[in-house]
């Protein structure tokens, strides 16, 4: 399993507070069968430049790396907050792509709806950097759940989607998440783990929530593997619609 979204690195954000916590999160992830963890600490442009952030991230990684068992990989990325009022230019933000790949994990603002200004800025970002955004925990945005047709606009720009494992078990999102999976629109799963308590490693729960759909789950992990190998991913754009509270 590949955990594409995690706050496992110590002392960088609201995730693991120290190396001991990080190591315990790593242990639990490995116990669940995770082989690759993409470390994606929050990046908010106002606090540090991408270059400063990467230095701090490297130091945090070096604290955790000795605890990483053979056969398990930690990869370095960031959960980059992308808004219309970002102070960091696109070229600098591109430094936060996942290691040497063309992919970057972006978090969008939690608004009632996404403005055209935001969509245009995202489109410009893609054009100027040549990167492919993977949109983090796409099920968590009210703007998406209430108006899933916006997903089609993201797909046409070339964006990919990451879902959190909990999306498949929580009532408000499970219908949406299962529709996304069945349409082949999920490119990555994440635990979005922050600690060992209320936001703990949970990737294994995917197999409890999605019994009988193991092949689909596996195909998402394969796609995530291709992303981490910097392979070109092609996903056929598909519409997701909502009627009477259900997703189709």
What whole-number distance in Å separates Cα of residue 38 and Cα of residue 66? 16
Of 3 and 192, nearer to Fe ion (C-beta) is: 192
If you ran DSSP here, which 8-state letter would residue 211 be given?
A: T
Q: How far is the CB of 123 from Fe ion (least distance, A)?
A: 23
Of 28 and 107, nearer to Fe ion (C-beta) is: 107
3 binds Fe ion (CB under 5 A): no
192 binds Fe ion (CB under 5 A): yes
* Binding to Fe ion, residues 65-84 (CB under 5 A): 79
CB neighbour list of residue 138: distance below 8 Å, 6 or more residues apart: 144, 151, 161, 162, 163, 180
Question: Using CB atoms, what's the residue nearest to Fe ion?
Answer: 192
The structure tokens listed for 208 are 């409890």
CA angle 175, 208, 98 (to 5 degrees): 75
Q: How far is the CB of 34 from Fe ion (least distance, A)?
A: 16
Contact code string over 16-45 relative to Fe ion, x by CB under 5 A: ------------------------------
Q: How far is the CB of 121 from Fe ion (least distance, A)?
A: 21
What whole-number distance in Å separates Cα of residue 104 and Cα of residue 97? 4
Applying CB under 5 A, the site for Fe ion has a residue count of 2
| Pair 177, 189: CB distance under 8 Å | no
Residue 88, number of CB atoms within 10 A of its CB? 21
SS3 248: coil
Q: How far is the CB of 107 from Fe ion (least distance, A)?
A: 7
Of 26 and 247, nearer to Fe ion (C-beta) is: 26
166 binds Fe ion (CB under 5 A): no
Positions touching Fe ion (CB under 5 A) are 79, 192
């Amino acid at each position: 399993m590949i955990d594409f979204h995690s706050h496992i690195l110590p002392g960088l954000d609201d995730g693991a507070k120290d190396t001991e916590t990080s190591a315990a999160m790593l242990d639990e992830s490995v116990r669940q069968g995770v082989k690759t963890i993409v470390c994606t600490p929050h990046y908010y442009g106002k606090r540090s430049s991408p270059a400063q952030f990467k230095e701090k991230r490297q130091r945090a990684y070096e604290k955790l790396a000795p605890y990483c068992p053979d056969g398990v990989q930690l990869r370095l990325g960031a959960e980059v907050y992308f808004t219309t009022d970002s102070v960091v230019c696109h070229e600098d933000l591109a430094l936060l792509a996942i290691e040497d790949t063309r992919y970057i994990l972006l978090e969008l603002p939690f608004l009632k709806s996404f403005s055209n200004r935001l969509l245009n800025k995202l489109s410009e970002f893609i054009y100027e950097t040549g990167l492919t955004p993977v949109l983090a925990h796409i099920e968590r945005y009210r703007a998406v759940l209430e108006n899933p047709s916006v997903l089609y606009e993201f797909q046409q720009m070339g964006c990919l989607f990451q879902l959190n494992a909990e999306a498949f078990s929580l009532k408000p999102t499970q219908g949406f998440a299962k529709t996304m999976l069945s349409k082949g629109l999920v490119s990555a799963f994440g635990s979005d783990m922050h600690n060992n308590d209320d936001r703990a490693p949970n990737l294994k729960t995917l197999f409890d929530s999605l019994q009988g759909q193991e092949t689909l789950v596996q195909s998402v992990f394969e796609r995530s593997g291709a992303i981490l190998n910097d392979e070109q991913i092609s996903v056929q754009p598909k519409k997701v619609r909502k009627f009477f509270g259900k997703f189709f």
